[in-house]
């Protein structure tokens, strides 16, 4: 198999093995699909259509959902959420977080939030923990560390997070005691601290990682 085919297989059939590396803006069709879906979310949010236009748009979207349903697979087989190379992992729940720099204990990224994620002229307060969870969970689970799940996220909102401008997100692996991994993070707009977070991740016991597909590509000894 040549390199082009291997790369193609990789992005169309990704594994749960997150390399946790800086993201790139993919130029393939799934990356385009994700971006188009984000554009729809933003356009619906920003619009005040008349009934006719709203009805036509709804029919188009239902038609699209039906066409994609022909390709439905189990959660462990889907592409969305496992495109580690893309901002937001090919998932549109969170705003698209770009990962810029990663070490074993630190990660840095950036994100620009639109009106879809607005809580009225500033980022919705529920979206901030989503962004923190995204980067902290990936850092907590990187570098061959066994799977861990979020036990808590404590977020302090220090300033309204502006929309439409780049926000910097920083994450740190602050320490480990037994199965407990302590994580910290912060979000900035320029020099302004927008939010801070303390998080606890708990390493899962073998009977908590029974879903074999999630361990694919990580090696049995690392997944339990």
Ligand X SMILES: CCCCC/C=C\C/C=C\C/C=C\C/C=C\CCCC(=O)SCCNC(=O)CCNC(=O)[C@H](O)C(C)(C)COP(=O)(O)OP(=O)(O)OC[C@H]1O[C@@H](n2cnc3c(N)ncnc32)[C@H](O)[C@@H]1OP(=O)(O)O
12 binds ligand X (CB under 6 A): no
**Can you say whether the dihedral through the CA atoms of 205, 207, 208, 213 is positive or negative?**
positive
Q: Measured between alpha carbons, how far is 34 from 30 in angstroms, rounded to an integer?
A: 6
Q: How many CB atoms lie within 10 A of CB 39?
A: 12
Give the β-pairing of 166-177 and 98-102.
Answer: unpaired
- Segment near ligand X (CB under 6 A), from 48-56, 116-124, 145-153, 165-173? 145-153
Residues within window 80-139 making contact with ligand X, judged by CB under 6 A: 133-134, 137-138
CA pair distance 201, 181, nearest whole angstrom: 5
- Minimum CB separation of residue 177 from ligand X in Å reads 7
Q: Check if the beta carbon of residue 153 is closer than 8 Å to that of residue 162.
A: no
Binding of ligand X by 224 (CB under 6 A): no
| Residue 171, H or E segment | strand 166-177
* 217, 15 contact by CB (below 8 A): yes
Q: Which stretch binds ligand X (CB under 6 A): 53-61, 70-78, 108-116, 178-186?
A: 178-186
Q: Per rule CB under 6 A, is residue 154 in the interface with ligand X?
A: no
Is the CB of residue 159 less than 8 Å from the CB of residue 194?
Answer: yes
Q: What's the longest Cα–Cα distance across the chain?
A: 60
Among 62, 152, 154, 166, binds ligand X (CB under 6 A): 152
Q: Is 47 in the site for ligand X (CB under 6 A)?
A: no
Please report whether residue 151 would count as binding ligand X according to CB under 6 A: yes
Task: Kindly indicate which of the ranges 98-106, 109-117, 121-129, 174-182 contains the residues binding ligand X, using the contact rule CB under 6 A.
Answer: 174-182
Q: Any contact of residue 17 with ligand X (CB under 6 A)?
A: no
**Interface with ligand X, residue 186, by CB under 6 A:** no
By the criterion CB under 6 A, which residues form the site for ligand X? 18, 133-134, 137-138, 141, 147, 149-152, 178-180, 200, 202, 204-205, 208-209, 211, 214
């Amino acid at each position: 198999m040549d390199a082009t085919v291997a790369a193609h297989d990789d992005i169309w059939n990704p594994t749960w093995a997150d390399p946790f590396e800086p993201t790139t803006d993919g130029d393939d069709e799934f990356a385009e699909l994700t971006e188009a879906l984000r554009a729809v979310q933003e356009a619906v949010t920003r619009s005040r259509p008349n009934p006719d236009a709203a009805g036509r748009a709804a029919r188009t979207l239902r038609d699209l959902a039906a066409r994609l349903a022909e390709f439905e697979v189990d959660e462990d087989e889907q592409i969305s959420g496992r495109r580690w190379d893309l901002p937001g992992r090919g998932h549109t729940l969170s705003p698209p977080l770009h990962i810029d720099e990663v070490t074993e204990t630190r990660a840095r990224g950036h994100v620009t939030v639109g009106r879809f994620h607005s809580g009225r002229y500033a980022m919705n307060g529920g979206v901030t923990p989503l962004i923190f969870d995204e980067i902290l969970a990936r850092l907590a689970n990187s570098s061959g560390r066994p799977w861990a799940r979020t036990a808590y996220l404590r977020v302090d909102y220090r300033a309204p997070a502006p929309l439409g401008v780049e926000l910097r997100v920083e994450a740190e692996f602050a320490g480990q005691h037994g199965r407990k991994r302590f994580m910290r993070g912060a979000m900035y707009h320029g020099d302004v601290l927008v939010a801070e977070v303390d998080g606890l991740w708990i390493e899962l016991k073998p009977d908590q990682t029974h879903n074999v597909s999630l361990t694919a590509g990580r090696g049995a000894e690392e997944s339990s």
